[in-house]
């Protein structure tokens, strides 16, 4: 307990799944947490649960693809809790199935905008906000195993998550060379039991049979939980990872080792 005492954290896409788990775990570890999402009701519920447990939390509605929303979130967060030291760029959309031949340009642009443009804005505004805190900090971008290996049927999603990983490395080098004391890393989840995973598997066919098939490909034999990812994000947000930047923390049950 207390691994994030004194820190202010902003978590995008925090109304459910991985984002909600990160928000709640960060609060349990002492952070003052600003959760953002476009789902007002569920986002408010996450913050209410944190406050009920004695934590400090605030929900702000945000479209992560709109730059003015980023500026507004940073201003509101600082007024409520102080300048942030931790930014978690988690918000993303599930991938529409489509090969590079079948995917439409509109589908491509929609996924890139939601999954990569949003992270660019989060890193850009996150750096400025953390610098304002004068305490250094950590930016954590949520990528995917499909940002590390190819997938024939998810061209846009794979490209977007691969782009998140390399943007992370570029930003990490920039911050290090500028002497900002800001670390930038990515977390790379495997198959995690969330509504996004369920939606993706239903698109592939029978949910039960597809889930069984996917789990059979994971060395540990099961899908992960949102808290598995939250624990990795907690490490990168804490001072325990003060010598870690520009890296990919893979949390996938061994999937990519094969």
What is the enclosing helix (H) or strand (E) of 139? strand 137-142
Kindly state whether residue 36 falls inside one of the protein's structural domains. yes
Percent over 70 (pLDDT), the chain: 97
Instruction: Look up residue 134 and give its DSSP letter.
Output: T
Alpha carbon 17 to chain centroid, angstroms: 10
For residue 154, give the DSSP letter. Answer: B
- Asked whether the beta carbons of 34 and 86 are under 8 A apart, the reply is no
| 61 neighbors 37 (Cβ within 8 angstroms) | yes
pLDDT, residue 113, reads 96
| Average pLDDT, rounded, for the chain | 94
Decide if 91 contacts 12 (C-beta within 8 A). Answer: yes
* Residue entry with tokens 């920039």: 174
Structural domain contains residue 218: no
How confident is the model at residue 154, as a pLDDT?
87
- Whether 36 and 10 have beta carbons less than 8 Å apart is answered as yes
Cα separation, 59 vs 76, whole angstroms: 10
Q: List helix spans (H) across the chain.
A: 17-28, 40-52, 67-81, 105-112, 118-133, 155-178, 195-204, 207-216, 226-237
Give the least confident one: 6-15, 36-45, 92-101, 213-222. Answer: 92-101
> Region 170-181: what's the mean pLDDT?
98
CA dist., res. 46 & res. 97, Å (int): 30
Residue 197 domain-assigned? no
Rounded Cα distance, 84 and 137, in Å: 8
| Residue 95 banded pLDDT, cuts 50, 70, 90 | low
In a domain, 2, yes or no: no
DSSP 251: E
Structural domain including 176 reads: 8-190+225-250
Least confident piece of the model among 40-44, 130-134, 138-142, 253-257 = 130-134
pTM of the model: 0.95
The Cα 225–Cα 233 span in angstroms is 13
Q: Is residue 174 part of a domain?
A: yes
Task: Give the model's confidence band at 134: pLDDT under 50 very low, under 70 low, under 90 confident, else very high.
Answer: confident
Q: Which residues are catalytic?
A: 157
- Report whether pLDDT(225) > 90: yes
Query: Which tens digit of pLDDT belongs to each residue from 17-60?
Result: 999 999 999 999 999 999 999 999 999 999 999 999 999 999 99
Return the pLDDT at 214: 84
Kindly indicate the confidence band of residue 133, based on its pLDDT and cuts at 50, 70 and 90.
confident
Question: What's the pLDDT tens digit per position in 187-208?
Answer: 999 999 887 777 776 766 677 7
**DSSP-derived secondary structure for 204-247:** HS-HHHHHHHHHHTSTTSS-B-HHHHHHHHHHHHSGGGTT--S-
Q: How are beta strands 56-61 and 248-251 bridged, if at all? A: unpaired
Closest-CA residue to 83 (of 73, 91, 93)? 73
Q: What is the CATH number of the domain that holds 173?
A: 3.40.50.720
Q: Is residue 143 part of a domain?
A: yes
89 strand-pairing partners: 141
At 117, is the pLDDT very low, low, confident or very high (cuts 50, 70, 90)? very high
Instruction: Tell me how far CA of residue 176 lies from CA of 87, 237, 254, in angstroms.
Output: 17, 17, 30
Establish if 134 belongs to a structural domain.
yes
Number of domains in the chain: 1
Cβ-proximal residues to 198 (8 Å cutoff; 6+ apart), any chain? 207
Residue 136 has pLDDT above 80, yes or no: yes
Please check whether residue 201 lies inside any domain of the structure.
no
What pLDDT, on the 0 to 100 scale, is given for residue 213? 84
């Amino acid at each position: 307990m207390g691994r994030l005492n004194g820190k202010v954290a902003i978590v995008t896409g925090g109304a459910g799944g991985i984002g909600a788990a990160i928000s709640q775990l960060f609060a349990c570890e002492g952070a003052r947490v600003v959760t953002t999402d476009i789902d007002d009701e569920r986002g408010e519920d996450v913050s209410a649960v944190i406050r009920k447990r004695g934590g400090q939390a605030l929900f702000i509605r945000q479209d992560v693809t709109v730059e003015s929303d980023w500026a507004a979130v940073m201003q509101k967060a600082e007024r409520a809790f102080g300048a942030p030291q931790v930014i978690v760029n988690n918000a993303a959309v599930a991938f529409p199935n489509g090969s590079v031949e079948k995917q439409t340009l509109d589908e491509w642009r929609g996924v890139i905008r939601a999954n990569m443009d949003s992270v660019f804005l989060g890193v850009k505004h996150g750096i400025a906000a953390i610098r304002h805190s004068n305490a250094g900090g950590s930016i954590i971008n949520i990528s995917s195993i499909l940002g590390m290996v190819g997938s024939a049927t998810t061209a846009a999603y794979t490209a977007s998550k691969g782009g998140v990983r390399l943007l992370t490395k570029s930003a990490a080098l920039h911050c290090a060379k500028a002497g900002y004391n800001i670390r930038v890393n990515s977390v790379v989840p495997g198959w995690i039991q969330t509504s996004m995973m369920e939606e993706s598997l239903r698109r592939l066919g029978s949910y039960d049979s597809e889930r069984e098939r996917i789990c059979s490909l994971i060395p540990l034999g099961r899908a992960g939980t949102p808290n598995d990812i939250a624990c990795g994000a907690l490490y990168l947000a804490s001072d325990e990872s003060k010598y870690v930047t520009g890296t990919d923390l893979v949390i996938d049950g061994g999937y990519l080792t094969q």
